[in-house]
Chains A and B, each alone.
Chain A
Amino acid sequence: MGEELVFTFDVDGDDFTSAGQASVQIKKNLRQLGINPEIIRRVSIAMYEGEINMVIHAGGGEATVKVCEDYIEIILKDSGPGIKNIDQAMQEGFSTAPDRIRSLGFGAGMGLPNMKRYTDSMEIDSTVGVGTTVVMRVNIV
């Protein structure tokens, strides 16, 4: 294994206007590293969806991105309310987002299925009342 690069961000849960900042920064970092644009696009979209979820559903959290030799790993960890039924949350169109979030352009229930679609693996570990951790990997071929 070669050396791995790790980037960590605090994702502020109180300020919707700043949501997505970490993903924008990661996209820049990955470009600088000369990663394939299609891989960057998949990582960015998946991370952005997850970052927005942490802000709108969980009051913020921590985002970590590891760039390894064979894959890029995105870890999104929050101490929010947790997800009661993960299978249901994974369905397209399922959302508990309030109208306020819909008026901001989100809350269609498309995020989690989209994250799964754009990554090679995705695991959700969630406990109600404790928090949620999402780990996604995109392979670098």
Chain B
Amino acid sequence: MKISNMKELLEAEVLCCEENIDKHVYSACGCDLMSDVLAYVKDQAVLLTGLVNPQVIRTAEMMDMICIVFVRSKAPTDEMLALAKESGIVIMKTDKRLYEACGLLYTNGLVGNKVK
């Protein structure tokens, strides 16, 4: 799935690195706990989260993720957007809740990583 397809499915707004929305992603992870993202994520390129602080961006950067979706209308700060821009990470926000956002992507073919 392309990041641009995710944007449509989630009725999301792109907040930075729009130039990268044609990139393909193959799996995603929905999580508010960065400890778990660091410990369990393997090849997921997309992070959906309701947590808003600069560590979300840095965690995604450490994990080589290329897109972050903030759910429940949570808006990242300018500082966070600046960090994301430096790393080329696409940032989006959607009104949807985490459960619904993940469900929409999953049912449309963006399945999670099956290996633990």
B58 within 8 A of partner (CB): yes
Question: Please, which residues of chain B bring their CB within 8 A of the CB of A109?
Answer: 35
Question: Please, which residues of chain A bring their CB within 8 A of the CB of B54?
Answer: 17-18, 20
A106 and B55 form a contact (CB under 8 A): yes
Most buried by B among A19, A20, A104: A20
The SS class assigned to the B binding surface is helix
Interface size on B, residues (CB 8 A): 21
A105 and B51 form a contact (CB under 8 A): yes
Residue from the list B36, B51, B55 in contact with A110, Cβ < 8 A? B36
**B82-93 interface code vs A (CB 8 A; 1 in, 0 out):** 010001000000
Interface size on A, residues (CB 8 A): 26
B53 and A104 form a contact (CB under 8 A): yes
B34 within 8 A of partner (CB): yes
B38 within 8 A of partner (CB): yes
B73 within 8 A of partner (CB): no
Q: Tell me the complex Cα distance, A37–B35, Å.
A: 22
Question: Please, which residues of chain B bring their CB within 8 A of the CB of A107?
Answer: 35
Interface residues of A (CB under 8 A from B): 16-21, 23-24, 27, 37, 41, 44-45, 48-49, 52, 104-111, 113-114
What are 13 A-B interface contacts by the 8 Å CB criterion?
Answer: A16-B55, A19-B58, A21-B58, A23-B62, A24-B58, A24-B83, A48-B58, A49-B38, A104-B51, A104-B53, A105-B56, A106-B35, A111-B38
